[in-house]
Structure 1
Amino acid sequence: MAAEVTLHTAVHGYLTHLAAERGLAANTLRSYRHDLSRYVHMLDARGRHAISEVTEADVLDFLATLREGGPDRPPLSARSTARAAAAIRGLHRFAAQRGLAPADPAAGVRAPAAPRHAPRAISVAEVERLLAAVASDDAPRGLRDRALLELLYASGTRISEAVGLDVGDVDLGVGSVRVAGPGGRVRLVPLGAPARGAVRDYLRHARPRLARDGAGGPALFLNARGGRLSRQGAWMVLRAAAERARLAGVSPHTLRHSFAAHLLDAGADVRLVRRLLGHAGGTECDRLPCEVRDAYAEAHPRAGI
Structure 2
Amino acid sequence: MTVSEERMEPTTPLDRAGMIWTARLESAGLDLDQDADDLDDEERRVREEQRHHAQRTIETYQLALTLFVRWATRQGRSCLGDLQLDDLLTYARSLRRRTYDLSQRAQQAIEAGQEVERLSPRTIHAYVRPLLGFLALADSFDALPFRAAAIHAEIVRALPRLPDPVAPTPPDLRRLVTHYDKPRSEADDRTDRLLLIRLRNAALLHLLFSSGARISEALSLDAGDVCRDRRILQQAKVSGKGRREGTLFIRRPAERALRRYLEARSWPPASAALFESLDRRTAGMRLTRTSGWRIVHGAAEALANQVALEGKVDEAELLRATSPHSFRHFVGYHLLNEGVALAEVSQILRHRSVEVTRSYYASYRDVQLQEVHDQFSADPLE
CA shift in 2, pair 1:141/1:116, >3 Å = farther
Output the CA distance in 1 between the equivalents of 2:217 and 2:289: 9
RMSD of Structure 2 on Structure 1 (CA) = 4.5
1:81 aligns with 2:140: no
- Partner in structure 1 of residue 328 of structure 2: 256
Q: What do the CA deviations read for 1:227-282 (whole angstroms, capped 9, x no partner)?
A: 1111111111111111111112112311111111101111111111111111258x
Amino acid at match of 1:258: F
Structure 2 distance, partners of 1:150, 1:44, is: 36
Higher RCO structure (Cα 8 Å, ≥6 apart): 1
What amino acid is aligned across from residue 3 of structure 2 in structure 1? A
SS in 1 for 2:247: strand
Contact 1:156-1:259 within 8 A present in 2 as well: yes
1:251 to 1:4, Cα distance in 2 relative to 1, 3 A: same
- Where does residue 226 of structure 1 map in the other structure? 284
Instruction: Tell me the SS of whatever aligns to 1:240.
Output: helix
Distance 1:48 1:117 in 2: 28
Native 8 Å contact 1:119 1:251 kept in 2? no
Q: Specify the SS of the correspondent of 1:253.
A: helix
- 1:226 partner SS: coil
TM-score normalised to the size of structure 1?
A: 0.57
Q: Does 1:270 align with 2:342?
A: yes
Q: Which amino acid aligns with 1:259?
A: V
Q: Is the 8 A contact 1:14 1:91 kept in 2?
A: no
1:121 maps onto 2:169 in alignment: yes
- Whether the 8 Å contact between 1:175 and 1:191 is mirrored in structure 2 is yes
- For normalisation by structure 2, the TM-score amounts to 0.46
Hey, what does 1:107 align to over in structure 2? none
Structure 1 residue 190: Cα displacement? 2.0
Q: Please list, as runs of the form range in 1=range in 2, the aligned pairs for 1:53-72 lying within 5 A after superposition.
A: 58-59=58-59
Which SS does the other structure have where 2:218 is aligned? helix
Q: 1:165 aligns with which of 214, 218, 221?
A: 221
For structure 1, the 5+ residue unaligned runs are 19-35, 64-76, 93-114, 282-305
**Equivalent residue for 1:238?**
296
2:152 aligned partner: none
> Share of identical aligned residues, percent?
30
Which residue number in structure 2 is paired with residue 142 of structure 1? 198
Q: Which has the larger radius of gyration?
A: 2
- The answer as to whether partners of 1:78 and 1:116 remain within 8 angstroms in 2 is no
Q: Is the 8 A contact 1:42 1:62 kept in 2?
A: no
Where do residues 1-305 of structure 1 align in structure 2 (5 Å cutoff)?
A: 1-5=1-5, 40=25, 44=29, 47-48=50-51, 58-59=58-59, 78-85=120-127, 118-123=166-171, 126-134=172-180, 136-137=182-183, 139-171=195-227, 172-205=231-264, 207-208=265-266, 217-224=271-278, 225-246=283-304, 247-280=319-352
Secondary structure of the structure 1 residue equivalent to 2:275:
coil
| Contact kept in structure 1, 2:4 and 2:27, CA below 8 Å | no
In 2, the alpha carbon distance for the partners of 1:122 and 1:180 equals 25
